[in-house]
Structure 1
């Protein structure tokens, strides 16, 4: 095995877990907490849909990356023979991922800054500035160093704490089934439903995952099976963590006279941690936010470079200019004074509206047998993918029409 192959294998080994860590960011913690606090398990159906849809789409991204040795953006570039369609697809990718990630980045930085502001006397805007510099340094010198591994580890610890808290709090399982079997989907729950979908099925993760697994130079069939197994386990774990967050918020806030806000969101960990809940929650929110604040601009660079027909080179001027633009824009969004929880919820809802367009491109790419060969979508995967596209399109259309 050559040195480059060994490096590629090392980089790809935890690709699925990096993707899972990316969607367990502050937006997920916030959105799942708001969903549980306001609506209990009546919106659990949206989380279940999101987990299945995430698995379906990330599985396609894995098969695309391993079989073609290309990222999703490069595949979109080559999927359309008609020049007009190709230019339209490229423009949409740049807008959806470039602009969309800027909004998402604002939520990431806001979440990390909120966590640190609760640990210190420094204001959120000041922490936004500091965190933007830290994220920029991590991106400039590479995202796979010790600092990021520590942050991902902290997110893992935070996730474990939520799961243990659920066990300690002994939630009402009867209420879970009763409410879950009485799903709500109305004007009151609409934004939360869209945000749950947007925070779980993250469009930029499709680009990031395909790009990461495309680097492996060994046996494609063996690597594909390994990556698909890792993807299934990581997505299921991410779904269980999100469910745990929703459950702790439901047990603490739903049906009570308390309303969730930035000052008391950590109280859902009190059954396990008592007076330490606020500090532990703040550390986890910081770690989740900074980890996602690094991966979102990184994915934008992979996506936009590929869409422009340029090979993504982390040290190139173009690659760095893209992530820097996303990072700076996100910092500005995080600094303008939106309420922290509102800003993060809005970012997830925006993601939900962008998703169907990226999913359409992924479906087109996965049905070009001459390029993906044996990795081509089956009839079942196409049916599932089309269902996801139609449902999320309907959600996005309803959101847009609701503005007028």
Structure 2
């Protein structure tokens, strides 16, 4: 007589909607125990010579049914657990997020959304971004420390001068023009430098020149993922800051009050060295620098000018195109499209300083209706010693 198949009855309670997480855990434990029991019985039947194939197949079917039920309940359990965990973290705030990087991303996203909706910034967000400003003092629109630091030091669109110039972030910054002193002023070997310090003093005082960066944000991006929102806004802000830095440093017609920031300024101008072509002008400018500056000198120029020099020097010889700029010019080259005339010198004496205060605000483009995230910053660029630089120009033909 054949034995009946061992079938586990389907308990519809396991699949009922609205179960609590505790009930799902209990159901998983119950099914797990049954599965473990059937697996044990199956193992015994498999080595029992008296067991029929029908009995073994019945146990295999029971095992498969139980595994399927267990996976269905586990899927429900995991989904409900994730949902409750997310709600718990949301109710508890950003501080509940364990991953430090994700916490900062969520805090940045909350800062952007709060700015765009005109809502105050929560204390959790301030702490996550390193902002200890008391909202009662009117600092609610200040950009927190973490955001400000990353905007200045982790640019998405780089200003090449950031790799060679000096960058700081201080309020009311004053620094000496020369990093060391001796008890006798005669230690300054360059007569131009000595005259410059005698005429303008030995200290550089940085000012505050206000500018704004506008970032258009669509409703889709604003309501999208925190990661995409933060990347979109930060990339635009970083690009804006880099563009402003290059603009003031290479302006041929600087804005009123910003004349001192440009290498091409006409008042208190940097010395111009001329030759019959730009290659010879650059070589002459390097030679004209005092040795104190020549050692660390670099050439900032357009890539188009460099390629013109290579084409002229190569004269059909392809090997020169593979040479490093330092081998061609005698000094490393940095390519900036705004450098219409090559600037040669020690760029540690080119100093950009941002005021610590950065403001965030919102605006609206009335023409398009797009909301704008607005960053207000204060920048100054000081050429600490103009004698550390030369402008290389082609001499006008007679």
Which has the greater radius of gyration?
2
TM-score by length of 1: 0.20
TM-score by length of 2: 0.20
Q: Of the two structures, which has the highest relative contact order with CA contacts closer than 8 Å and spacing of 6 or more?
A: 1
Q: Which has the higher strand share?
A: 2
